[in-house]
Structure 1
């Protein structure tokens, strides 16, 4: 493995260096360089600069500088353009073999510029900067870490409607295994389940959450690969995804869409964006969505309703206040019906088979969040951000699970109550700054994270639908009145009381202090990051005693710009992640610790229209808990794995490769193994870690005709290919069993003109029987979750 990484590294470095050799200016031409500033004298980053009347177009860098080479001598006009604002134009004379310098001020404030840039980024697949919630005051090209952004253009072209609906095809190495349908995302990457964030807050309060975000509220999604515990609170060493919700842009516009699809999918959404007063200081954004959706399996449904208003107020030129509320309401069939069980093996039953009992009460979920964000520019070089959030999740429903699976495949289905409540109060304050000492530039980041999370679940009541001698037969299923009738639950006591009585509680309180200094040398072409974080955690789970832990973790990063468009980086980070669980023998639950080493190379191509990233990594994790393979998932018992190692290679390409052609393509090699096993557990050193694929390949191409009779028409398509898949969970008797390879092909057609767009996508074109699963020792049975057969979606969008 190490030799493979070394060989791959040399190959990638050689390839990228070959492609980044500069093209020297031709004799007889000149060069134009310049600096673009806003009306408040701030650098105008990422604006378009064009030589009027010619095809030469560039963008400014993060400091507002631009460079146009190979210009023939003569008189020209430089035009600086920004969507929605008048272009700034300045005349310039170019002489042979000389460089002329020009400064252009724009009639737009820095705040207005940032809002337009965020909006413009939606129209392509390549994002140059992350959101402010990532706390990075620099372009992604210069960050010593692999960060990939799934833009709203990605999501729209692929007709993604939920966080669990194909998002991960845009990220190398990301997979979903035991995911509970469209209830939870549960994304694995680099050998572990990654943490879920929203607007910079860790929104995980239990292993199963949070509820998958409806895409009506989502602007874009940021995947931070590798250690993220320093930048954001309590992140996993394998990474995280950060869902960034829609905010007001300052432009008055709207969008309405309607989608119909296979299995009775009916969906409508409305996005309104505008001003609430004449001076544009008070802005609003309102997103509404409603969806009725059934399944290729009988008796399943998942209806969703979303209401998300946002208000922002520009107090003055330096201060902005944003208040946001999100409500996601779900009404769905029993959440355990996605699972199929058989002692014979995977796919022993038809793809559309279900053990779901019609007549069970629906599961309902109300997911509320309220966020307040304040941003204040202390000066041109210092910015203070403070935000607080309250999350409230209420679930009332059931989970269908076998109480027994016989050797002939017949089973006793058991319905368990699953009522739950989650409350989270979260707060963050951080400071970004730029300081120069001599010839060294300092990018400073300092901050404080606070959080209090409480999760209550009642799964202490169960009711068998079938009985011994009258088992449910999957080969001849009967969906009439079950022999034991329907369950009647005792909800006379509150959820908090029932959760304590049943041992279904998780509590966590944490605080974190951090400081980072990125030192820039040689005109900021060499950037050295020195950082440290102190984390203090108190927690308890499943009725166990309160645990307390604290630790200081360092971070060391190096990023070097080979040229303006290419950088190489290295990173060392240590992990300290609290975890909740209860060990059967009463042992103390310790936080996850470990270290990460990562190297990579990044490049922006053709003025940033598309980008590539190549990285290699090695992650060590200690003390990680995993579900006890000998007990039911709701037992609450875990076992300590010991130590595991994940290492691999990742390649990502995204952006507009040629005019009209947007591409996302990625590959990942992942190798996860147990390196130390706790005595007495069923797995051993060398066993494969569950929940990933050794080889993951994804692609998505979207081509739109720009001229001629077919102007506005387009075609899109892509595939996901998973090889050497590990099962989704541990098994004492089937540890080495692999899942078959997975190949899914999707594609579609679209037509766009003026304000209207029609899109038709077909998913699983080859109609493959696709699934993920594992073997449950305690049931002596295989289980799997199948995906939908060939299906389609037709959508119409109107912008106004």
Structure 2
């Protein structure tokens, strides 16, 4: 028996020693003029191992079996650079590269012909050190190239067309409400939860580097949210390269827009970096009396303390001036689409609604050693809105043409503080590699919301023959501070989380085990004060079938606070959610384009429903917990460069979102509000890479939705919206530092809208129209 034990021990030690025989490769990639080459791919030919250069041009590949290799440095649009190396056991090999191109030429390649529809890595603010191909989750990244190609101004526009199953519901002109997988997704900025009941202001794309959509719950970012997922807006940071870009856009509806992006160094030693993004916009609308004028100022400073530490300070000030909230709706007793696209309940003399979104962000990054990094960041948001909301009291009794308008003040003060400290690292225990993430996450939010001064607005309006200019502008009493004239809501959480990704068989099989404990604190005069905690586990399995193909399984949980009280004044338990999914990811043609196929099922329990046994007045009921939603779906995403010059973004999602438990039996089996059964988007962009027409390009795409449920469904109503189909396209020309982009939206001039059914005030349909055929012409210059 002892001999058997000795033999087994010797075998285990031998195998462990064999697994432990690895080396590593590190180095930097620079341009011909000495600048860091950012987001360049470095790979070992004939293997699946690789890395992407960071903001300093540095890269590192670990756990390489000793032997001779060829290192390949590639960026689509450039000639690949190769170098022979030897990896030795327990040693670190250094291989530096210098590209033939200058920093400016490299940037031009990325903008004009580079493959920026596809991204291999998430941003550091998403905390994951795992490449997207290996992550056991569906993560889709929208880069600057796509945003520029589609001339997207802000999060309220066509961002969602680039992600399977994501749809925009409602258009408030100040904040984005995006649905995916059967519920609203959370809003993040630079890895921090910025979601408020109303606000903050939707990000302008002039300040945005990329947008990351994470499908399903993700405890490493947030557990107390809907299980559908979240999107993370990553703002532009200093790169260390001295460059700038100016853009001017003219368009339909008296649109005038100017942007300026400055990036560079403030000190000769290159340690103090800066970036400034400025934007100014005057923009009318296809609706009468409607407008949205904006400006943003976003300066960023980054100080490189040494080769291990840095600190970044970012200030954001966004301002938006628009028509009264709600004035962009049309109303009818007869049905959707009953009025022209230009219809409005507003008046020319109505005072504008002003929004200010101010925030501060501080990030401290420290490299503890070659394998461990710590990040600490904190933010403060100050959001204000001063204006009015238009919403009718209903149609005159017995009439289908006479709408009685009503108006109230709509003033908001939102304050948000967030702090995070987390560490990323990697260690080996024998033959097992570990990618470890852990940290502390805290948030505290205050919210003041005053819409108490309600009044009828003018005489009834004939919706089929509206006569404007007869109604005097209303006035509101704002002599008291908003803190004195409304109630205070607070919402906060403290969370601890830990995640370990265990890699087996040279990291071919990866097992993710994670957990998060979150404690919520909620307080307001209506719901009372309560504090509740919940533990949410997370488990994932990812397997590399070959260097370009990965399959994964994921189980994750989330929870969401249920606001309000029941008929006895008791607060509700949180709404809970679970997600199970299976996915296949693959890179094609040397990873120049990728595909993701996902199957998932989400269960949402403890959804609030009407308490039919306890009326709350003549027109409504109290709520009670116990409802349930079940969402099953398939998602398919393709993005990247199919062949030289042709970039594509194609996606499709089938979402079967059903109500499975409800107090009203008639609602069981109905489609969950705000969901769309079928969503399919395509965007193609082709640029001529050589010859006399070099630099000319054409873009074309469409959006299609079928089986659309209104985002708000009153009890007992389920009148779905019609199918949605829109085609957009444009032409571009880029030469050296100069670019022109002419884009035409809604080429077929379709009558497009979203809306719902409102059962109060006698009941009526309400919807918001999109503009008909319209254009944007942008001119840009880099320097």
TM-score bracket for this pair, using the shorter chain length = 0.7 to 0.9
For residues 590 and 163 of structure 1, the distance between their equivalents in structure 2, rounded to whole angstroms, comes to 32
For residues 549 and 438 of structure 1, the distance between their equivalents in structure 2, rounded to whole angstroms, comes to 40
CA offsets per residue over residues 377-402 of structure 1, 9 Å max, x none? 10111110000000000110000000
- Give yes or no for the alignment of 1:455 onto 2:447: yes
SS of residue in 1 equivalent to 2:393: strand
For residues 46 and 776 of structure 2, the distance between their equivalents in structure 1, rounded to whole angstroms, comes to 40
- Give yes or no for the alignment of 1:472 onto 2:450: no
For residues 447 and 698 of structure 2, the distance between their equivalents in structure 1, rounded to whole angstroms, comes to 46
Distance 1:628 1:352, change over 3 A: farther
- Give yes or no for the alignment of 1:418 onto 2:393: no
Contact residue 123 and residue 152 of structure 1 kept, 8 A: no
**Aligned position for 1:729:** 712
For residues 646 and 191 of structure 1, the distance between their equivalents in structure 2, rounded to whole angstroms, comes to 6
Contact residue 45 and residue 64 of structure 1 kept, 8 A: no
Contact residue 226 and residue 237 of structure 1 kept, 8 A: yes
For residues 692 and 367 of structure 1, the distance between their equivalents in structure 2, rounded to whole angstroms, comes to 29
Distance 1:481 1:551, change over 3 A: same
For residues 266 and 530 of structure 1, the distance between their equivalents in structure 2, rounded to whole angstroms, comes to 51
**Aligned position for 2:66:** none
Contact residue 145 and residue 225 of structure 1 kept, 8 A: yes
**Aligned position for 2:731:** 749
For residues 190 and 337 of structure 1, the distance between their equivalents in structure 2, rounded to whole angstroms, comes to 29
Deviation of residue 578 (structure 1)? 2.7
**Aligned position for 2:156:** 164
Contact residue 115 and residue 641 of structure 2 kept, 8 A: no
Contact residue 501 and residue 511 of structure 2 kept, 8 A: yes
Deviation of residue 577 (structure 1)? 2.4
Equivalent residues in 2 for 1:693-712 (5 A)?
A: 693-712=676-695
For residues 622 and 632 of structure 2, the distance between their equivalents in structure 1, rounded to whole angstroms, comes to 28
Of the three residues 714, 727, 738, the one matched with 2:720 is 738
For residues 79 and 264 of structure 2, the distance between their equivalents in structure 1, rounded to whole angstroms, comes to 20
**Aligned position for 2:7:** none
CA offsets per residue over residues 370-424 of structure 1, 9 Å max, x none? 0000110101111100000000001100000001223423111111100000000
Equivalent residues in 2 for 1:88-237 (5 A)?
A: 90=83, 105-106=95-96, 124-180=116-172, 182-206=173-197, 208-232=198-222, 234-237=224-227
Distance 1:664 1:479, change over 3 A: same
Contact residue 713 and residue 751 of structure 1 kept, 8 A: yes
- Give yes or no for the alignment of 1:438 onto 2:430: yes
Please report the RMSD computed on the Cα atoms of aligned residues, expressed in angstroms: 3.3
Of the three residues 272, 275, 282, the one matched with 2:265 is 275
Equivalent residues in 2 for 1:231-380 (5 A)?
A: 231-232=221-222, 234-380=224-370
Contact residue 582 and residue 636 of structure 1 kept, 8 A: no
CA offsets per residue over residues 303-337 of structure 1, 9 Å max, x none? 00000000001101110100000000111111111
Distance 1:712 1:388, change over 3 A: same
SS of residue in 1 equivalent to 2:119: coil
Moved more, 590-599 or 745-754: 590-599
Contact residue 146 and residue 615 of structure 1 kept, 8 A: yes
Distance 1:56 1:618, change over 3 A: closer
For residues 322 and 627 of structure 1, the distance between their equivalents in structure 2, rounded to whole angstroms, comes to 48
Distance 1:732 1:707, change over 3 A: same
SS of residue in 1 equivalent to 2:161: helix
For residues 538 and 672 of structure 1, the distance between their equivalents in structure 2, rounded to whole angstroms, comes to 30
- Give yes or no for the alignment of 1:778 onto 2:760: yes
Deviation of residue 507 (structure 1)? 1.0
For residues 248 and 549 of structure 1, the distance between their equivalents in structure 2, rounded to whole angstroms, comes to 40
**Aligned position for 1:495:** 482
SS of residue in 2 equivalent to 1:491: coil
Equivalent residues in 2 for 1:301-700 (5 A)?
A: 301-406=291-396, 407-466=399-458, 470-482=459-471, 485-500=472-487, 505-541=488-524, 543-581=526-564, 586-625=569-608, 640=625, 642-677=627-662, 679=663, 684-700=667-683
Contact residue 217 and residue 223 of structure 2 kept, 8 A: no
For residues 610 and 171 of structure 2, the distance between their equivalents in structure 1, rounded to whole angstroms, comes to 15
Distance 1:348 1:107, change over 3 A: closer
Deviation of residue 544 (structure 1)? 2.3
User: Please, which runs of 5 or more residues in structure 2 have no aligned partner?
Assistant: 1-21, 30-36, 53-58, 63-68
SS of residue in 1 equivalent to 2:405: strand
**Aligned position for 1:769:** 751
SS of residue in 2 equivalent to 1:618: strand
Moved more, 376-385 or 352-361: 352-361
For residues 767 and 86 of structure 1, the distance between their equivalents in structure 2, rounded to whole angstroms, comes to 43
SS of residue in 2 equivalent to 1:136: coil
For residues 123 and 446 of structure 1, the distance between their equivalents in structure 2, rounded to whole angstroms, comes to 33
Deviation of residue 576 (structure 1)? 2.0
Deviation of residue 234 (structure 1)? 3.2
**Aligned position for 2:4:** none
CA offsets per residue over residues 97-154 of structure 1, 9 Å max, x none? xxxx99652169xxxx9xx99x969861111010111110110111100000000101
SS of residue in 2 equivalent to 1:154: helix
Deviation of residue 183 (structure 1)? 1.5
Contact residue 666 and residue 697 of structure 1 kept, 8 A: yes
**Aligned position for 1:19:** none
SS of residue in 2 equivalent to 1:402: coil
For residues 620 and 603 of structure 1, the distance between their equivalents in structure 2, rounded to whole angstroms, comes to 28
For residues 499 and 436 of structure 2, the distance between their equivalents in structure 1, rounded to whole angstroms, comes to 6
For residues 218 and 45 of structure 1, the distance between their equivalents in structure 2, rounded to whole angstroms, comes to 17
For residues 276 and 45 of structure 1, the distance between their equivalents in structure 2, rounded to whole angstroms, comes to 20
CA offsets per residue over residues 223-248 of structure 1, 9 Å max, x none? 00011244336342101000000000
Distance 1:77 1:686, change over 3 A: closer
Contact residue 734 and residue 775 of structure 1 kept, 8 A: yes
User: Please, which runs of 5 or more residues in structure 1 have no aligned partner?
Assistant: 1-32, 67-75, 94-100
Deviation of residue 486 (structure 1)? 2.8
For residues 456 and 636 of structure 2, the distance between their equivalents in structure 1, rounded to whole angstroms, comes to 49
Distance 1:312 1:156, change over 3 A: same
Deviation of residue 639 (structure 1)? 6.3
Deviation of residue 543 (structure 1)? 3.0
SS of residue in 2 equivalent to 1:519: strand
For residues 50 and 544 of structure 1, the distance between their equivalents in structure 2, rounded to whole angstroms, comes to 56
SS of residue in 2 equivalent to 1:133: helix
Distance 1:673 1:231, change over 3 A: same
SS of residue in 2 equivalent to 1:139: coil
Deviation of residue 535 (structure 1)? 0.5
Contact residue 190 and residue 233 of structure 2 kept, 8 A: yes
